[in-house]
Structure 1
Amino acid sequence: MDPSCLIKTIFFSEKRKNVLILLLKEGPKNIDEIKDVLDVSSSALMPQIKKLLKWDLLTYDPEEDVYKLSDMGALIVEKIEEFLNIVNIYAENHEYWETRDLSEIPYHMRKRIGNLTHCELLVADRDCLFEFHPTFVDNLINSKHVMMVSSTFQPQTTSLFSKLLENDSKLSVVFTELIFNKFLEDFPEQFRYFLSHENMSISIRSGHIGPLTLVVTDAFMALWLFDKKGRFDGTTLISYEKNALKWGRELFTYYSSISKMVYIDHDTKKMEVAGYNITKANIF
């Protein structure tokens, strides 16, 4: 078998590729269902189905009258979808991705960066480079569940946390130890209040955190990255897609699981540091 022939069979026909992706995402379907979803005629579709059957990428169940991916077909198409997702996000925001330092993202999450589909870029005003973009702030304030991982000191964060708690939102935050200590030094009363609030948890990580900052809520995911020269230009990458939110929650869970929770002891009123936080990001 010539691998190049198989590659041509998959990629040289948009119809064949769409059939494979459809069956991967939605499972077995009969011919009429495939036609309706892909909006194609039987005469255009059947020759492509036959070629996929010839390569054993599909199987046909005569009792159920449905087509489905073969076991090997499913393995191949899963990788194809990952590849296409990465290509698509790169094409959507080529200049942004080309200049970002992706090494800041843990490798196991970087491999799945194709999940960040349909992202928008919020470009910072040069006069407000170290302030959150107004669109991000508006979205954040209207969120009910917020997760944040950060290795940067952003004073505006304190007022945003206060507003979210006023709105009865739930917050889970992971800071590097250095940044947490900076916040505690500059905003001691506010952070002691945050630490004792029932709707908020704060954890600290003694080691490195990358990316620069991640925020994921019940409605969106936002990301800030350094460029390849180690500079921060304030650009916010934001997505409202379900896959992007899932990716963000998993990255938060990763850092949360290797961080230690900080809290105020109810009896002594002193700040304490617990063991590693094993809480998963399953609040929404």
Structure 2
Amino acid sequence: MSIPAIGLGTFRLKDQVVIDSVSDGLAAGYRAIDTAQIYGNEAEVGQAIAASGVPRDELFITTKIWTDNLSRQKLIPSLKDSLTKLRTDQVDLLLIHWPSPNNAVPVAEFMGALAEAKAQGLTRQIGVSNFTIKLMQEAITAVGAGEIATNQIELSPWLQNRKVVDFAQSQGIHITSYMTLAYGAVLKDPVINEIAASHNATPAQVALAWAIRQGYAVIPSSTKPENLASNLKAATLKLSLDDMARIAELDRNERLVNPNGLAPAWD
């Protein structure tokens, strides 16, 4: 099952704000929803999905296992708790959110538990997030590259993460880009704005379309219905080879997500 090119992110959205965002997103046409245990909003996401009336088989739901739950004893019980909150008996994609700090839980252990969750029918696909090349190699050794659906990484025109992308793609591992808009910073980039003007598009649509054209999935979030609807149109925006080349030159290795105690040694 392929990962939808564009989905709705819910990072930093809580309570009624996330209910409204998911409700508006589903009404606008989104069918992929991305959440995580640490976001503290799985129950609200589940509530909004249930109230939407959208059939479950039309949705692609992703959640992520937090580092406290990576051990073989905790991973599946924590997932079952997430499923209860999300009001479903299965997610479509289950990710390891961050590698275990200081390798407290070995990669082989949590990847094995992740594979067991899939074997039990609790998720349709499994994958990782914030994994370096070395960590992906360990995950591949544990379960095989064919079992790893995606690596969800910070990736934007200002952080193109080419080494990780190239390795993942060489192994058949899909890339999901988060922070594609760099907290909105790339929307002020002159080149992005010039390209947007040439297509009668928004800067956000250009940045998202740039990622989608390269085969990445994107999961932007918004609390504004008009932005949710606008972002969705990025999937049909056709950028030229020249547009893509100009954006490729914007890479400045500018990482925004680098939490102490969690972040691995980046490539």
Compute the TM-score of the two structures, normalised by the length of structure 1.
Answer: 0.25
Q: Which has the larger radius of gyration?
A: 1
The structure richer in strand per residue is 1
> Quick one: higher RCO (CA 8 Å, sep 6+), 1 or 2?
2
